[in-house]
């Protein structure tokens, strides 16, 4: 039996975007498959396969290793900054913590029954394992490899996505036809969003820029939700037996892989371009010490701007200050800030402590 991976290539055609088969990579072996995970920095693809995880070098397009002792593995979450990976071992209800260099298991962590989907959330360095039969999510501190919370869910969880800047995790509840919203700080469900007309949701992907969730459903629909409001804003037909979704930020394309041997590719509509950009910008907090001056004079303030969260693009800040008044700063992509005669620009990858005087 030939078992392999299929790679697709994007061709820019005169009338749109077309995909074609590029090549196949033989994997071999027996047993079922589930989620794929990519370490973009290391150029490694992790393929969950029965009781092991097969590793493909994307620079050579060949198998270069495997991670053993992962019974009934479903997913693999990668934490590149920690050098660890986390596998959801459904058959033993544990998560394996794996050293990505040696491919050896460091430890195993008990979860709820049958962990399935799994993700790593980098802003809080937490791993979420979604327990199918346990109807819960196990939250693990990835720095110390300890369980910090168990989140009860209303039904059987499937795939999930995280929005670190809003502090929320979104999870499909397959048997309830809804999405559960989990607060990262409290580790509690704060909302549930119905997916109608979508039914039996499985795959999920997230467009952080435009605040859109793409949910693959077993009634041959992919629904698109506003991740701020939970409202279903669009839907598109897909193939049968979908189990995973992905989103390409560069091309603005959503993908649904389907058990009938097809992949549905949908283009996000033009209305999404008018959505706010705040999810890719940092959070900002202010403190100030006003300089002494006569009451009739405008108070001069020295403000410290503390930038937290990932900065994925240059950001320019605009704000005005008056006596004894601190105004919330509005941040939008492409705006330029001027405070008095001072201009401030925080560029990509800049971190903390920018002093501004007005």
According to the model, what pLDDT value does residue 13 have? 37
User: pLDDT digits over 320-344, tens only?
Assistant: 333 333 333 333 333 233 333 333 3
In a domain, 325, yes or no: yes
Q: Find the mean pLDDT for residues 236-240.
A: 94
C-alpha count within 13 angstroms, C-beta hemisphere, residue 18:
7
In a domain, 247, yes or no: no
Query: Angle at CA 38, nearest 5°, toward 315 and 123?
Result: 40
Total domains, the chain: 2
As a whole number, the mean pLDDT across the chain is 78
Residue 345: partners with Cβ closer than 8 Å, 6 or more residues away: 314, 316, 336, 337
How far apart are the C-alpha atoms of 188 and 123, rounded to whole Å?
17
According to the model, what pLDDT value does residue 267 have? 84
In a domain, 161, yes or no: no
In a domain, 206, yes or no: no
In a domain, 272, yes or no: no
What does residue 142 show for φ and ψ, rounded to 5 degrees?
-70, -15
**Residues, the chain, total?**
358
Res. 351: pLDDT tops 80: no
In a domain, 186, yes or no: no
What's 336's DSSP letter? -
Place of tokens 């997916």: 195
Count the Cβ atoms, other than its own, within 10 Å of residue 200.
19
Q: Is the dihedral of CA 227, 232, 234, 238 positive or negative?
A: positive
In a domain, 62, yes or no: yes
- Among 16-20, 65-69, 106-110, 227-231, the minimum mean pLDDT is found in 16-20
How far apart are the C-alpha atoms of 279 and 194, rounded to whole Å?
23
3-state secondary structure of 175: helix
3-state secondary structure of 314: coil
Single out the residue in 124, 152, 180 at which a domain terminates.
152
pTM, two decimals, is 0.74
User: pLDDT digits over 61-115, tens only?
Assistant: 999 999 999 999 999 999 999 999 999 999 999 999 999 999 999 999 999 999 9
What's 83's DSSP letter? T
Q: Is the dihedral of CA 141, 188, 138, 42 positive or negative?
A: negative
End-to-end alpha-carbon separation of the chain, Å?
Answer: 71
Single out the residue in 152, 176, 200 at which a domain terminates.
152
In a domain, 185, yes or no: no
Find the domain containing 352 and state its range.
281-357
Single out the residue in 133, 152, 171 at which a domain terminates.
152
What's 298's DSSP letter? P
């Amino acid at each position: 039996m030939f078992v392999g991976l299929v790679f697709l290539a994007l061709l820019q055609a005169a009338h749109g975007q077309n995909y074609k088969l590029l090549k196949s990579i033989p994997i071999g072996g027996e047993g079922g498959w589930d989620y794929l995970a990519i370490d973009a920095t290391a150029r490694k693809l992790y393929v969950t396969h029965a009781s092991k995880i097969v590793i493909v070098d994307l620079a050579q397009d060949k198998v270069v290793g495997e991670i053993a002792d992962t019974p009934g593995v479903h997913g693999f979450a990668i934490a590149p900054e920690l050098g660890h990976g986390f596998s959801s071992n459904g058959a033993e209800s544990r998560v394996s913590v794996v050293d990505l260099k040696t491919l050896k298991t460091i430890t195993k962590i008990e979860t709820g029954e049958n962990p399935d989907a799994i993700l790593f959330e980098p802003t809080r360095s937490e791993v979420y394992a979604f327990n199918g039969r346990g109807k819960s999510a196990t939250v693990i501190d990835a720095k110390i490899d300890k369980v910090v919370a168990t989140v009860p869910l209303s039904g059987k969880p499937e795939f999930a996505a995280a929005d670190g800047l809003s502090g929320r995790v979104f999870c499909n509840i397959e048997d309830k036809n809804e999405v559960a919203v989990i607060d990262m700080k409290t580790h509690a469900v704060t909302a549930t969003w119905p997916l109608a007309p979508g039914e039996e949701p499985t795959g999920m992907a997230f467009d952080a820029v435009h605040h859109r969730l793409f949910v693959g459903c077993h009634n041959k629909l992919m629904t698109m939700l506003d991740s701020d409001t939970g409202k279903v804003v669009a839907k598109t037909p897909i193939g049968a037996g979908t189990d995973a979704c992905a989103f390409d930020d560069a091309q603005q394309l959503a993908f649904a892989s389907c058990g009938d041997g097809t992949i549905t590719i949908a283009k996000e509509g033009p209305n999404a371009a008018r959505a706010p950009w705040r999810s890719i910008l940092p959070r900002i907090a202010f403190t100030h010490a006003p300089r002494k001056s006569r009451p009739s004079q405008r108070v001069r303030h020295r403000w410290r701007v503390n930038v937290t969260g990932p900065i994925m693009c240059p950001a320019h800040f605009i704000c005005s200050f008056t006596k004894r008044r601190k105004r919330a700063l509005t941040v939008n992509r492409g705006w330029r800030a001027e405070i008095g005669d001072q201009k401030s620009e925080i560029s990509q990858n800049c971190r903390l402590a920018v002093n501004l005087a007005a």
